[in-house]
Structure 1
Amino acid sequence: MSIRNLDALFHPSSIALIGASNRPGSVGAVLAQNLYSSGFEGPILTVNPHERAIRSSLNYHSVAELPLAPDLAIIATPPKSVPGLVHELGERGCRAAVVITAGFGEGGHAEGQALEQAVLDAARPYLMRIIGPNCLGILAPHRGINASFAHLTPPPGELAFVTQSGAVATAILDWAKTRDIGFSHVVSLGAMSDVDFGDMLDYLALDPKTRAILLYVEAITDVRKFLSAARTASRNKPVVVVKAGRSAAGAKAALSHTGALAGSDAVYDAAFRRAGMLRVDSLDELFQAAGTLATGIRIQGDRLVILTNGGGIGVLAADALEGLNGQLAELSEPAMARLDEVLPQAWSRGNPLDILGDAPGERYAKALEALHDAGDVNALLVINCPTAVADRMEAARAVVESLGPRHPPTLTCWLGDASPTAARRLFAEHRIPTYETPEQAIRAFWHLHQYWRSQQALMATPPAITERVSIDRARAEAVIEAVRAEGRRVLTEPEAAEVLAAYDIPTVPARRVETPEEAGEAARALGLPAALKIVSRDISHKSDMGGVQLNLASPEAVTQAAEDMLAAIRDKAPEARLDGFNVQPMIRRPGAHELILGIAEDPVFGPILMFGQGGTAVEVIGDRVIGLPPLNPLLARDMIESTRVSRLLHGYRDRPAVDLEALTLALVKLSQLVGDLASVAELDINPLLADADGVMALDARIVIRPAGEARPPMAIRPYPQQLEETIETRGGTRYRLRPIRPEDEAALVEMLRHSSADDVRLRFFAAIRRFDHAFAARLTQIDYDREMAFVALPPDGAEIAGVVRLSADPDKERAEFAIMVRSDMKGTGLGYRLMQRVLDYAREMGVREVFADILRVNHAMRKMAEELGFTTEARDDAETVTVSLTL
């Protein structure tokens, strides 16, 4: 359902408490106290069959007795009573309920799970939203709502905190009280039977009172909804998440290295990164990061200048920065010259800038002034240590007064306990982030850097790759169907190599043979020295069974090795079926790196990709990164750069850099394979050799799923290639129609530039002269799950002639359309044909109503909408009209 009726949770006109109590210390009594004492301005109605009054307010004995239908109900009654209460409330017109009660299937109890389903069944006919069961409750301080049994009520603020754990919620409230931190919302989701993280992200992304969203996550339910909502929210405001549980137990049964190495926590990490969220490791770090980001400070890199009056403290800060792989900025020569002019002769003449312990406020100000345009500097950290010869408050005022628009973003750290209190308050008043220790400040800088990186990845425009990738999907499917027809799940190495070759991933020339003698002859034909590998449908890891022999120098050596291999394997695995041998020439690439690429399936997020350092010790080395498909070249390159081995791939000493474009494309092709071949459950390429001449898969293993077994859906909907088609206008002109891609950014901007100023104003309701990257990225980087945009292109051209767009609400009940045809191509009937296609697509999505706001003066659009059956609603005082069509 997503955000439907969530306003009843946080903006109710009235609240009912079912299960209110006067018994001291009971949940019902605490709920009543919190509700009555938090400042809610609407009526609060209590229900208890045995009480005349609750906290001196008239009590009702049943839901039926309530004098009005509450918008929101808080339920704290025994589990078996809850489904009936929800039904009664729904019949009365209640739109949302928070179920505090536990006992709904926690631990997998069937009776409780049946009760939970009964609650949802009772709520569904009334579109009633449920939070819980088994939750602490909700708080909306700006509305005076504390519908929880928490021990305190926080002040209104700009942070929203959403958690699965009620205990974590109370701990955070207590933590925040001592720091005078307020909240816009605190939501304990409990069992998430209905309202989940995706719903809350959708709601909070649009909430004007919320500047940053904090999540405590134990598990995600609807991952596609979660990632769609998270990507949308992250574009609007910071989303910071802490994830509990780092177990990799779910990978134990995997047949491939990739499955064994993935680990649930690594997959969550990949998902958070892909959605543009900032992940932290602890609750304390969660709030530190949120406080930093909420100040509005932003950076664009990892180069820091440290300015301090204590040399040792500056060194500690530099050590902390290096520990996070950050960099001390190199100061420009003009900046060094300016610093020499204003600082004492004994200053450190380097970064960290030690301006000495007796530094007064004036010296801080002059040093900051000298750092104007200091070169490639992304941020400043200003540190002050207590001394008896300098006024700390004077230094703080100097920092505040010196900071202007030309300064890099600045963080501060005034060390000590009592003495820096006033300085920290001054920084807070001016929204300058401040910290108690250098390590905290460095961690905050790194949070800013990580957030910048995630936002860059979220908005980056990938290059087009169509011309560089040649894929024969039918060839790969034929191989897999042949294996399935034999009742097998594991492809032999030659079969796996053919699938990779179909996806344009280079493989080693090979010949499949049946006898040792044939192996020797094959080696002679392919070239020596040779590699010999057993072919068996029953052996997954060949080297572990003695099924691999390398560097065989002659045909005779190959024949002998094959005979020895048969004997050894029959001894170790007598039940294994031996289908012959795979003979390959030895690949001589002495400077090549051994890497691993893989596909596996996560029980929550579905198909995943892995990249890392490969070879026989891959599990021991543990240098890998997980990514979610689909990948574009930018996302693939980011995966590569996230590993330790990437530093070697760039070259060192006399070892040249690898062909990173070829390596990136190999990951992209593997991602395409994931989207195309739902039958592939697991895949390893280990090793993948990579050097300056490109990449080559030396060995591969592919596991397919049994016939009839459905693959878990991809967490991110891939590009819907099946929607590509050719359309024809009423005038007979033909166009290629396809969904928009992120790499269409330049073509879309070109289309807008070729359109008249009037046409641009009619589309965007404003005179836009500059179409920058951020503007264009929002139009081309869409979520195909909730949005769709079709572009029309001439049959033999790449320029965009027209675009039609559909943006559904999270419930996919209503969707807004927008359309534009390039000015010099209007009047051909293209606009009408595009509207027909987008309405057909809306019907396919199950959208019930399509609408748009149109400028009154846009007579052509209004006429077309009328022809298509739209109704028009005009407003006397508005420049727009709303057209809508029920599907």
Structure 2
Amino acid sequence: MTVRNLDALFAPKSIALIGASNRPGTVGSVLARNLFRAGFQGPVMPINPHEEVIGSTVNYRSVADLPLDPDLAVIATPAASVPALVAELGERGCRAAVVISSGFSPSLRDELLAAARPHLMRIVGPSCVGFVSPQRGINASIAHITPRAGDLAFVSQSGPLALAVLDWADAHGVGFSHLLSIGDMSDVDIGDLLDHLAQDGRTRAILLYAESITGARKFMSAARIAARIKPVVIIKSGRTEAGARAAMSHTGVLAGSDAVCDAAFRRAGMLRVASLRELFEAVGTLACQVRPRGNRLAILTNSGGAGVLATDALEDHGATLAALAPETLSQLEALLPADWSHGNPVEILREATGERYEKALKAILPDHEQDAVLVMNCPTATTDGLDAARATVAALGSTRRVPILTCWMGASTAEPARRLFAERAVPTYETPDGAVRAFMHLVEYRRNQDLLMQTPPPLKVNPAHRETARVLVEEALREGRDVLTEPEAKQLLAAYEIPVVDTRIVTTPQEAAAAAEEIGYPVALKILSRDISHKSEVGGVQLELDSPEAVRIAASDMLDLVRQRKPKAQVDGFTVQQMIVRAHAHELLVGIAEDPNFGPVVLVGQGGTAAEVIADRAVGLPPLNMVLAHDMIARTRVSRLLRGYRERPAADMDAIAHTLVKLSQMAADFAEIAELDINPLLADHSGVIALDGRVVVRPKPAAGTARFAIRPYPEELERDITLRAGAGYHIRPIRPEDEPALIEMLERSSPEDLVLRFFAPVKRIDHSFVARLTQIDYEREMAFVIKPDASMEAPILGAARIIADPDNEAAEYGIMVRSDMKGHGIGSALMRHLLVYGKARGLKRVFGDVLYENRGMIDLAGRLGFSRHVDENDPQICRVEIDLATIDPNLAG
């Protein structure tokens, strides 16, 4: 389930409290006190079989005795009694329950869910501390205080931590729209709540404390939707890589569950922080709508020491101290005393007045070499910190083109300045480190949000020999092997057009020497064995061999070493390959691994024999495109070297990114691939080449691409169709790369047709408008485009989409055909395609709102069997709707 019946939790008309008590200090008495005193406007009905009243409220002996059916139940009785109570409540029409009770075994938890399921009743918990919604007057929790009303929603898997946050928030004047402790997440989980809170008008930002993520695909879909609407900030505990220690490949070892969580949160557009303090700091910072372009910070301060602290913090966080432009420095020279710092940080000396702050800040703000400015002040006996704060605000003016952060150090003397900044929505912090940390929150949040909306360049990952790759994988599985040989692994990579070094297979030292003569020296010699995972660890690799005799001796010695160190290993021979001499090449590790929660992941980082020790890696969730692949590379430490330095030219970053995208495609094509690594992948200015590869396979899991946390592009939905007069067209799901073609389609459509589709004049057809139409979550919505042929270059003639609700019950559709292509049957083909797809994915109905003047669409809907309804709120709109049970699966033709 997802959001079904969550309205009964967030906006109930009546509440039943089962397990209410008059005995002081009990859970039942605390719940009763909180519920009665929170200000809920509906009836709160306590249930206790042994009491006449609870406090001063009439008590009921059982669920059957309740005078009306509750929307929400709060249960605090022994665990064994809860399933029967839930069944009884469900019979009474109760639609949600918060289960405070703990001590549920797995079997008892199953009984609880089985009792709720027939009634579609939602369960929060068990083993939680409850639910609070101050704006609705609900405190169904065992909290020691009722929080003040606000616009932050906080969801926590830890009950005690939720209570600690309440205490902290009360002391700091922070209010909540909702606060939920979700305990064991037997039913309602983080993904469900993200779906609901994303649409909640009372919630400005969503804060999460997570210990584990369940239902990764649902979580990712909900998180990506929520993060596009409002800030979502998360703390994830459990930074451990223990789950990856048993992996057979370098990639599996290095992936690490926490690194995967990091990648997932970034991909969803969320911001991850490390502490509760950062959680609320980040929300306050993001609320000021400050959006730096990059990570270059200019610092203005009256204290050299404070400037050094901020610079150190900037370095620690991986950001950049801005190099101010010469013209800016010249202006500052003219404005400031002779002994100012003459650079960034701009130290304007301890006697700096408000006037000096204002003049210096106005000189720095227009500088294009900085992305944000941090203004700092240390209290002195000779200057007024509030005067400096007023001057800072004055310098900003009303435009706020440049992001500004402030840090007024001190306690009582700085408080008036901080209040002024808060009133003017200027972010302010108590310490240089806190200010820099907030700046990095902004940088990371902007980067994550941009990735949600970036349009990648067209790239057709089209393995020419996909069938060859399939034969390799299936043959290994048929033989009972779980690891491809090195030559097989390289053949698999070559099938996906990843360059590999020429490799010869031989069986004896003499054959190895002969192969080396043919290849040319120097050569690399490696043991060939299906039982040896890491060849170098058993002496199975020799490099830089430059003569037949050297090859023969190395091969003989290698056999002896392997027999000593791995006596049970079956040795099939050797591989001989030419040594690739690239003086300026970097050794990288790239590969595929599988996370138990988020499914396949792709990895890139520094390679070589010390890859696991160095542990420099970035992880990404497939499907990847070139934009996402480049972002992954940029997150590695080795990327600084790849950009070039001194005599070493920059590596071909596109070639590395192409490799990551191809691996992403391979993971989607072959569920049988459990792990894959290329180590090393040599990368330099001329491209990349794989020197070694290792592939771990397993029988194809039933889940297929369902194991992906983000649904890959559904290639299976592509169709060639024939319409009127025998004209042929190609229908396929939309891709992010379709943005330019979709812009062209919209620009070639009449203003009247744009109004019919979007219900208002479209003033600007640009990236921000179209990206939301092309960059979709295939799990929640589907959009199809129709073209004259299957090429990326072909124009888009029409587009259609459906957006399903989180419960996959109903979906809203929208269709548009380019104005000059109407009358060719394109709209009808798209509509039929949508309906057949909707039925196949399990939707029950499809509906749409159509302007009455759009007679063509209303007539088409009528011909296909849609019913019509007048919109009571807007007589210009006709609601059309169809039951998909009536749709012929062959309707699309």
Q: Shared fold (TM-score greater than 0.5)? A: yes
Following the alignment from structure 1 to structure 2, what is the Cα–Cα distance between the partners of residues 385 and 222? 49
- Deviation of the 1:470 alpha carbon: 4.2
Is 1:208 equivalent to 2:201 in the alignment?
yes
Structure 2 letter corresponding to 1:67: P
Closer, same or farther in 2 for the Cα pair 1:369/1:709, shift >3 Å? closer
Following the alignment from structure 1 to structure 2, what is the Cα–Cα distance between the partners of residues 6 and 611? 41
Q: Which residue of 2 aligns with 1:853?
A: 849
Unaligned segments of structure 2, at least 5 residues? 885-893
Structure 1 letter corresponding to 2:869: E
- Deviation of the 1:246 alpha carbon: 1.1
Deviations 1:232-290 (A, max 9, x none): 11111111111110111111211111111121111111111111111111111111111
Following the alignment from structure 1 to structure 2, what is the Cα–Cα distance between the partners of residues 183 and 403? 31
Following the alignment from structure 1 to structure 2, what is the Cα–Cα distance between the partners of residues 535 and 307? 62
Closer, same or farther in 2 for the Cα pair 1:72/1:722, shift >3 Å? same
Following the alignment from structure 1 to structure 2, what is the Cα–Cα distance between the partners of residues 91 and 114? 22
- Deviation of the 1:876 alpha carbon: 5.4
Does the 8 A contact of 1:136 with 1:166 survive in 2?
yes
Is 1:751 equivalent to 2:738 in the alignment?
no
Structure 1 letter corresponding to 2:653: L
Q: Please show how residues 806-885 of structure 1 align to structure 2 within 5 Å.
A: 806-875=802-871, 878=874, 879-885=876-882
Following the alignment from structure 1 to structure 2, what is the Cα–Cα distance between the partners of residues 745 and 17? 53
Is 1:767 equivalent to 2:761 in the alignment?
yes
Q: Which residue of 2 aligns with 1:38?
A: 38
Does the 8 A contact of 2:297 with 2:371 survive in 1?
yes
- Deviation of the 1:65 alpha carbon: 0.6
Deviates more, 1:488-497 or 1:792-801: 792-801
Q: Structure 1 residue aligned with 2:687, among 679, 690, 694?
A: 694
- Deviation of the 1:347 alpha carbon: 2.9
Does the 8 A contact of 1:2 with 1:199 survive in 2?
yes
Closer, same or farther in 2 for the Cα pair 1:755/1:780, shift >3 Å? same
Secondary structure of 2:443 counterpart: helix
Deviations 1:638-686 (A, max 9, x none): 1111111111111111111111111111111111111101111111111
Deviates more, 1:306-315 or 1:641-650: 306-315
Deviations 1:502-534 (A, max 9, x none): 111111111112222222211111222222111
- Deviation of the 1:715 alpha carbon: 0.9
- Deviation of the 1:376 alpha carbon: 2.8
Q: Structure 1 residue aligned with 2:718, among 724, 737, 750?
A: 724
- Deviation of the 1:385 alpha carbon: 1.2
Deviations 1:538-591 (A, max 9, x none): 111111111112222222322232222222222222211111111111211122
- Deviation of the 1:877 alpha carbon: 5.2
Q: How many residues are paired up? A: 879
Q: Please show how residues 133-148 of structure 1 align to structure 2 within 5 Å.
A: 133-148=126-141
Secondary structure of 2:293 counterpart: coil
Secondary structure of 1:475 counterpart: helix
Q: Please show how residues 435-514 of structure 1 align to structure 2 within 5 Å.
A: 435-466=429-460, 470-514=463-507
Closer, same or farther in 2 for the Cα pair 1:621/1:827, shift >3 Å? same
Q: Structure 2 residue aligned with 1:536, among 521, 529, 546?
A: 529
Q: Structure 1 residue aligned with 2:405, among 380, 403, 411?
A: 411
Closer, same or farther in 2 for the Cα pair 1:267/1:296, shift >3 Å? same
Q: Which residue of 1 aligns with 2:81?
A: 81
Structure 2 letter corresponding to 1:807: I
Secondary structure of 2:261 counterpart: helix
Q: Which residue of 2 aligns with 1:162?
A: 155
Does the 8 A contact of 2:407 with 2:431 survive in 1?
yes
Is 1:428 equivalent to 2:442 in the alignment?
no
Following the alignment from structure 1 to structure 2, what is the Cα–Cα distance between the partners of residues 877 and 498? 63
Q: Which residue of 2 aligns with 1:6?
A: 6
Does the 8 A contact of 2:719 with 2:732 survive in 1?
yes
Q: Which residue of 2 aligns with 1:51?
A: 51
Closer, same or farther in 2 for the Cα pair 1:568/1:476, shift >3 Å? same
Closer, same or farther in 2 for the Cα pair 1:255/1:756, shift >3 Å? same
Closer, same or farther in 2 for the Cα pair 1:347/1:561, shift >3 Å? closer
Q: Which residue of 2 aligns with 1:665?
A: 658
- Deviation of the 1:710 alpha carbon: 5.7
Q: Which residue of 2 aligns with 1:267?
A: 260
Does the 8 A contact of 1:310 with 1:384 survive in 2?
yes
Q: Structure 2 residue aligned with 1:592, among 563, 571, 585?
A: 585
Q: Which residue of 2 aligns with 1:793?
A: 787
Closer, same or farther in 2 for the Cα pair 1:584/1:369, shift >3 Å? closer
Structure 2 letter corresponding to 1:408: V
Closer, same or farther in 2 for the Cα pair 1:186/1:877, shift >3 Å? closer
Q: Structure 1 residue aligned with 2:594, among 593, 601, 606?
A: 601
Q: Which residue of 1 aligns with 2:27?
A: 27
Secondary structure of 2:726 counterpart: coil
Following the alignment from structure 1 to structure 2, what is the Cα–Cα distance between the partners of residues 306 and 428? 20
Closer, same or farther in 2 for the Cα pair 1:746/1:530, shift >3 Å? same
- Deviation of the 1:709 alpha carbon: 7.0
Secondary structure of 2:94 counterpart: coil
Structure 2 letter corresponding to 1:611: V
Following the alignment from structure 1 to structure 2, what is the Cα–Cα distance between the partners of residues 71 and 731? 58
Is 1:182 equivalent to 2:175 in the alignment?
yes
Unaligned segments of structure 1, at least 5 residues? 105-111
- Deviation of the 1:349 alpha carbon: 2.9
- Deviation of the 1:153 alpha carbon: 1.1
Deviations 1:52-81 (A, max 9, x none): 111100000001111111111101111111
Secondary structure of 1:60 counterpart: coil
Deviations 1:756-779 (A, max 9, x none): 000000000011031121111100
Give the TM-score normalised by structure 1: 0.97
Does the 8 A contact of 1:514 with 1:579 survive in 2?
yes
Deviations 1:600-640 (A, max 9, x none): 11111111111111111111111111111111011111111
Does the 8 A contact of 1:658 with 1:692 survive in 2?
yes
Does the 8 A contact of 2:671 with 2:701 survive in 1?
no
Following the alignment from structure 2 to structure 1, what is the Cα–Cα distance between the partners of residues 46 and 564? 77
Is 1:616 equivalent to 2:635 in the alignment?
no
Closer, same or farther in 2 for the Cα pair 1:708/1:629, shift >3 Å? closer
Deviates more, 1:310-319 or 1:55-64: 310-319
Give the TM-score normalised by structure 2: 0.97
- Deviation of the 1:733 alpha carbon: 2.0
Q: Which residue of 2 aligns with 1:736?
A: 730
Secondary structure of 1:785 counterpart: coil
Secondary structure of 1:50 counterpart: coil
Following the alignment from structure 1 to structure 2, what is the Cα–Cα distance between the partners of residues 768 and 340? 49
- Deviation of the 1:157 alpha carbon: 1.0
Deviations 1:842-885 (A, max 9, x none): 00110111001111111111111111111111135512111111
Q: Structure 2 residue aligned with 1:396, among 374, 389, 400?
A: 389
Does the 8 A contact of 1:373 with 1:406 survive in 2?
no
Structure 1 letter corresponding to 2:574: F
Q: In angstroms, what is the RMSD of aligned CA positions?
A: 1.5
Q: Please show how residues 629-708 of structure 1 align to structure 2 within 5 Å.
A: 629-706=622-699
- Deviation of the 1:295 alpha carbon: 2.5
- Deviation of the 1:220 alpha carbon: 0.5
Q: Please show how residues 335-414 of structure 1 align to structure 2 within 5 Å.
A: 335-404=328-397, 405-414=399-408
Q: Structure 2 residue aligned with 1:546, among 532, 539, 547?
A: 539
- Deviation of the 1:332 alpha carbon: 3.3
Does the 8 A contact of 1:683 with 1:700 survive in 2?
yes
Following the alignment from structure 1 to structure 2, what is the Cα–Cα distance between the partners of residues 191 and 266? 24
